[in-house]
Structure 1
Amino acid sequence: MDIKADSLYQEMQAMIGQARLQTSATPEVQMNPNSGSEFSTMLKGALEGVNSMQMDSKQLQHSFEMGDASVSLADVMVAKEKAGIAFEATVQVRNKVLDAYKQIMNMPV
């Protein structure tokens, strides 16, 4: 089972680098109308990845409990930890998004 968090992190770093290049190349901020849909697509993919990790972990746990000889306890524990870490990261991202939303809503107009 591979962790998709590394690829997600690399994609985010690449997006940050592209954003910095765009803002440094032109003094005015360019609004991309598709950026919202790209972000939502990326967020949806990340959530689906976390969900699939949790489902795989649950399936491995069930297989181990049923006595499947091809599944070891170490595999089950590693899968559970990966799913737990991915879920915690998702919660932290949600918290940061909510904080940013609250700050934007409290800005004077």
Structure 2
Amino acid sequence: MNTIGTNLPPVNRMEEGQSSQLTPSQAQSNFSSMLKNAVEDLNHVQLESDKKTEGLANGSVENLHDVMISAQKASVALETGVQMQSKAIDAYNEIMRMQV
């Protein structure tokens, strides 16, 4: 099972006085792919929860605890995604209010 945040790229630590080696287009591409992977992971968790819930309703899954844990994981993952979206929008709005 994949959890959100496990597909994050490694952070490159820079020594003092060393400049970043990423170009703006590479940084944008990395950020875009990171967001896409996070959304795909969130979708995977939601679909897995839906499948287990449907299985419980059909009678093919008998472990109620597993279904409830899966549903709670999906709920926490969705709430985390919503909070991250809110923080990103707040940060964007703050940047747009800055005077250059």
Fold-level match, TM-score > 0.5? yes
TM-score (structure 1 length as normaliser) = 0.78
Corresponding residue of 1:49: 41
* Matched residues, number: 99
Q: Which of the numbers 54, 71, 80 marks the counterpart of 2:71?
A: 80
Q: What TM-score, normalized to structure 2?
A: 0.84
Alignment of 1:98 onto 2:89 = yes
Query: Separation in 1 of the partners of 2:34 and 2:20?
Result: 22
How much identity, in percent, do the aligned residues show?
Answer: 32
Paired AA for residue 83 in structure 1: A
RMSD, matched Cα: 2.1
State the Cα deviation string for residues 56-94 of structure 1 (Å, max 9, x = none): 1011101101111x4411111011011111111111111
**Quick one: which amino acid aligns to residue 96 of structure 1?**
K
Q: Does 1:21 find its partner at 2:14?
A: yes
Offset from partner CA, 1:17-74 (integer Å, 9 cap, x none) = x2x416x342x56652211111110111110110111111011101101111x44111
Q: Runs of 5+ in structure 1 lacking a partner?
A: none
